[in-house]
Amino acid sequence: MLAIPAIVLRDQYAKLMKKEVDGKGRVERFCEMCLTVFDQFEQGQITVEELKTTLKQDAGIEFKK
């Protein structure tokens, strides 16, 4: 499940660099973004394999057990 925070960082890095947005700090916004992706996973909209493939192709990150 490490793929979820990794994909959030890949997709939302620029937004997370702002110290505060709408009264929310970086950590709070990061957690909300991760939960959004996790909800997509739970609803079957994305799979861990899709996240891993995207991260390998786009960022060169490969997850190994």
CB neighbours of residue 28 within 10 Å: 13
Q: Render pLDDT for 10-24 as a digit per residue (tens, 0 to 9).
A: 999 999 999 999 999
**Residue 65: pLDDT band by 50, 70, 90 thresholds?**
confident
Reported pTM: 0.87
Predicted pLDDT of residue 40:
97
The residue-averaged pLDDT of 45-62 equals: 94
Question: Do 7 and 55 form a contact (C-beta atoms < 8 A)?
Answer: yes
Spatial CA neighbour of 48 closest among 11, 2, 13: 2
Summarised one tens digit per residue, pLDDT across range 16-49 is 999 999 999 999 999 999 999 999 999 999 999 9
Domain boundaries in the chain?
3-59
